[in-house]
Each structure stands twice: as C-alpha cells, then as structure tokens.
Amino acid sequence: MTAPFQGGCRCGQLRYEAAAEPIFFGHCHCRDCQYASGAGFSSILAVPKAAFKILQGSYAEFDLEAESGNMVSRKFCATCGTSLFSELKAAPDIWIIKAGTLDDPSWLQAGMQIWCDSAQPWATLTEGIPTFGKNPEM
C-alpha cells in the first residue's frame, strides 16, 4: 500500500487520511493500550502529523498520564466510541492511528512490539519481530 490511505470510525461520522507512509507499525502492550482497545494490546501505526488530516467529522478526547509518565491524548468518535488516534506530548510531530480503523489494514506488516513488560500472559507475542520491554529509542 502506498500513501495516501484513509480510514474512519465504525459509524462513518469521522473520516481521515494520511498522505505519508507509516513511520512504524507495531503492537503496544502497555496497560493504557489494553484499556483503549479492550484487548491484550493495540495495533498502532505512526504517521507524520503534517501528513494527517480529518476529512469529515470530529472526535472527542481524553487526556491521561501514560505508563511512561508522558501525557497522551486519546481521540475517539463521540458517536460510536471507536478508538481512533493518540497524540503523544513526548512526540508532537507524529500522530498514532489505531490500525483497525484503516479502510484496508491488510497491507500492514508489524515491525515491533513495545511495552512487552506489561503484556498479559494470554496475549501471545508475535514471533520474528523485535520486542521491547518498554519504548524503543526512536
């Protein structure tokens, strides 16, 4: 898949586009991602913030202190509740997108697993890709 790519929430109220290839794609096992996804981890990709735009609709947000101690702003659809994006205060030039919200996420290939120290014993780590106990140096 090449940029641009698009996605949105489950009800269709919010649509977005990313005009650049992902900086990374991987699985995050931090407790906050477990809460945000309702699962053992979140599959996330990052794009340059300058290459991201909302095409229609708007999102609600919830700010919190992440396990790392950094502030995170979680963005979600106020209509259907779909968890869509994260904005990291520690990385203001990137936009984190939940992979499952892409119109076609099948082209993604995970390149890392992060916050594996927080992984649940029932959430299987993917073999063959780098694993980090916390965040890797970017």
Q: Which domain holds residue 34?
A: 5-118
Q: What is the pLDDT of residues 39-80, one digit of tens each?
A: 889 999 999 999 999 999 999 999 988 777 789 899 999 999
* Residue closest to 98 by CA, chosen among 56, 18, 26, 44: 44
Alpha carbon distances (Å) from 96 to 39, 52, 122, 124: 18, 10, 25, 22
Domain count, the chain: 1
Please report, as a single letter, which amino acid is at residue 67. Answer: E
Q: Is residue 137 part of a domain?
A: no
User: Is residue 137 over pLDDT 70?
Assistant: no
Q: What is the CATH number of the domain that holds 25?
A: 2.170.150.70
Q: Is residue 104 part of a domain?
A: yes
